[in-house]
Amino acid sequence: MVRLPLTPDDVERGRRLGALLRRARGGRSMLDTALAAGISPETLRKIESGRVATPAFTTVAAVAEVLGVSLDTVWAEVARPADASLTA
The per-residue pLDDT of the chain, averaged, comes to 91
pLDDT at 82: 66
Give per-residue pLDDT as tens, 41-81: 999 999 999 999 899 999 999 999 999 999 999 999 999 87
- What's the pLDDT band for 84 if we cut at 50, 70, 90? low
* Domain segments of the chain as ranges: 8-83
Number of CB atoms found within 10 A of residue 86's CB: 7
Whether the per-residue pLDDT at 87 is higher than 80: the answer is no
Query: What is the DSSP secondary-structure string of 26-49?
Result: TTS-HHHHHHHHTS-HHHHHHHHH
pLDDT mean over 17-40: 97
Number of CB atoms found within 10 A of residue 13's CB: 20
Multiple choice CATH, 8-83, 1.10.260.40, 1.10.3720.10, 3.40.50.620, 3.30.70.100: 1.10.260.40
